[in-house]
Homo-oligomer: A and B are copies of this chain.
Amino acid sequence: MITNPALPQGTRDFDPDTVRKRNYIFDVIRTVFELYGFQPLETPAMENLETLMGKYGEEGDKLIFKILNNGLGDQKNISRSKEAFEQVLLGKNDKNLTQRALKYDLTIPFARYVAMNYGQLQFPFRRYQIQPVWRADRPQKGRYREFYQCDADVVGSKALINEVELALMYNEVFSRLKMAGFSVNINNRKILKGIMEVSGVIKKEKLILGIIDKTDKIGFEGVKGELLNLGIEPVNLEKLLSAYSMNGSDHVKLSFLKQFLSGSETGLNGVSELEYVYEMISRSASGIQSAIHFDFTLARGLEYYTGIIFEVKAPARVKMGSIGGGGRYDDLTGLFGVPDIPGVGISFGVDRIYDVLEELDLFPRHVHDGTRVIFFFMGEEESRQAFGLMQQLRVKGVKSEMYHEQAKLDKQFRYATKKNIPYAVIIGNKEMEDRTCVLKDLRNGEQKSLTIEELLDVEF
């Protein structure tokens, strides 16, 4: 029976050029992670269903891909399988039908790993993880059911030096990717809380932060309008808005906040944390701090983050928005029975970073490099000679291949051109006798005759 060759909805094949471009991004990120002392970790694609369920909220749970147990129809299992299926139809989980699932993110598996290996690990534990995750989201442009996540976390440390380093890592990665115009925005949940306290609106914190977080999209006036609708007392609203109308450099804003938050211990604490981060970043190699800014409208991950938070914005001209985010959290592993492990982490949105680099044409030319030299097939005898020569080039590290069979030169040229191979070596009858070869630059058509020794010295 013939099967129609097709891909599951929302998944992608990655062709050679795409793999190379994505690996370029991974390599840059990985190099920076390692430079900052982070270590690689990999966890399985599957986790026990109970490890994942209940960790992502009701909506998240629905998007988990569950794996069917094997052997459901075996004689000894049938009645248990049927009962289990009834449970599943009621929206419950039953181990007799499904006990494993594909991981939904990298954070919960990491938490599971830390809880499982608590006694063996050295804290603070700095790990990075670059792996695919799966979500049964409705597929749409730019949203896939299988996609890579790329995280770095330090756990088991409350020290702010970690926040400093993570901000610098963001900065370093996007600088290395040459993404001019990116910005690393920093805020502190403690400052947000302080502003709510001082403005007398702490009870409406969640609603208000939800609105302020949209500043990017709806502008300051839009935010003002929505806040008005919340029925906040005018004097409180005025206070709140004065905090969000701050102008000036990061330094000036911090001074303002120190005044403004003088009635909130939490708020002042948040300010002094940012002052520390500010100072440490300025001690780092000159110039590097330019893309790191405070953004007091940033409010991501309300449920989860408790201290400093990060968001990376793509250059404004590409209209992509956030390409990374993270922050400090109080409790990584409590859900797995190991309390009191705080941490701070960042994440890179690899698919979006890919799209930005593509749109701005920022992938370096060398990323596309596959085969550098093709040896044309000019006849049985000639090809044997060519083969020996090619092996010598390979020993020198030059990526090479030989056209596989006798064929018209036209056809061989076409093959080389479509594969973007820059150089061809031609050894015909005459060259075989002379111990020479013709080297042709396929990009401009230029060619010259070289001795074998000369060919081996060419820098490809």
Residue numbers of A with Cβ under 8 A of B are 1-8, 11-16, 19-20, 23, 34-37, 39-48, 50-51, 54, 62-63, 65-68, 70-73, 78, 81-82, 85, 88-91, 97-100, 102, 111-113, 115-117, 122, 124, 126-127, 132, 134, 136, 145-146, 154, 157-159, 161-162, 164, 168, 279-280, 283-285, 288, 333-338, 370-371, 374, 383-384, 387-388, 391-392, 394-395, 397-402, 404-405, 415, 418-419
Contact = CB atoms under 8 A, between A and B. Distances in A.
3 closest A-B pairs by CB: A37-B401, A16-B39, A11-B44
Nearest to A135: B70
Given A65-B70, A402-B161, A48 B7 contact: yes
B5 A20 contact: no
Contacts of A124: 404
Contact of A3 (B44, B158, B164, B336): B336
Nearest to A339: B2
A112 B73 contact: no
Given A42-B13, A63-B70, A399 B34 contact: yes
5 contacts: A5-B338, A13-B116, A46-B65, A66-B68, A122-B419
Given A162-B404, A337-B4, A19 B37 contact: no
Given A81-B89, A122-B419, A284-B388, 5 more contacts: A1-B54, A8-B44, A35-B398, A122-B415, A283-B384
B392 A285 contact: yes
Nearest to A373: B37
A333 to B, nearest CB: 8
Contact of A2 (B47, B73, B100, B336): B336
Contact of A85 (B37, B85, B115): B85
A36 to B, nearest CB: 7
